[in-house]
Structure 1
Amino acid sequence: MSMGSLSDDDDFNPEINTTPLVDVMLVLLIIFIMTIPVMNHAVKLDLPRAANQPNEVKPETINLSIDAAGKVYWNNEILDESQLAARVADAAKVTPQPELHLRAERTTPYEKVAQVMAAAQSGGLSKMGFVTEAPKK
C-alpha cells in the first residue's frame, strides 16, 4: 500500500481539510482587530514643560537708490563711489548681514545699476533685492 495512491478500496485520504483551520484563523483575526485599538502601548510620563522662543534677529535693511542722473543714495544720504565701497565693506562685516534693497528710476542707465551691483558683490554683500512699483491699472 503506497501513501500517494488513491485507490477505491483504501479509506486513507492524504489531503488535509483546511476549512476548520481557516475558520479559526478568521476568528482570531477578528479578535485581534477588535482588541488592538483598546490596548494602549504608551508609557505615561510626567515630562518637564519648557517654553521655546526662537531668537530670530532680523537683518537690517539698506535702501540703496539710484536716480536718473546716476547719483547713489544710501538710506536717503547721497554718496560717491569711494564712500559706497566703504559703506558696503562695513555692512558686510555686520552679523547678520543686512539686506540691500536696490531702487533705480526707470530712466537710470543700466551701466550705473550694474556698477552698484558689482560694488555690493565685491564688498561682500550677498543679499540683494530689487524694488519695483506695481503697474497702474
Structure 2
Amino acid sequence: MVGAFNHTRKTKHAIEEAESCMEITGISHLANDTSKDLTLCDKKKMEICRALATKPKYILFDEVMAGLNPTEVQEIIILLRKLNSSGIGLVIIEHIMSAIMSISHRIIVMQDGALLAEGDPSYIASHPSVIEAYLGKGKEYA
C-alpha cells in the first residue's frame, strides 16, 4: 500500500489502489503473506506492484528477470507487456537477451559504458558489433 498513499491519504482508497495493482501483477492471492515467505518471482512482482501503485508514466527495471527460471521469466515478460500496453513506458536493463528481444521496441546496447548500437530488435540482432561483443571475433576466441 506504500505507493498507493502517494495519491491519496484515505486508507480506503489506498487499499483499493493496492488491490487493483495486486490484481494487475497477479499477486492478489498473496495479499496476506509476508514478503519473507514469497518466492523470488513473487517478490519481484510485489516490487512491480509497489511501483505501479505510484501511477507512473515510466518504470525503470534493473535486471528484473535475474535469478528467475525460464517459466518465471515468461511470467515477467507477460506482465511487462501488459504494463506497456496500458501506456506505461518501460526502461529495462537486462542481460537475458531473448527476453529483451521479445518485448522491446527499441534497444540500446552498451559496452564498457559506451553506446555500441541502437535500434529495433532485428537491427540489433544482426549488428556486427553486437554479435562480436556477445559471441567473440571468431573461432580463435571460442
How would you bin the TM-score normalised by the shorter chain? under 0.3
What's the TM-score once normalised by structure 1's chain length? 0.28
Higher share in helix: 2
Query: Which one has the largest radius of gyration?
Result: 1
What's the TM-score once normalised by structure 2's chain length? 0.27
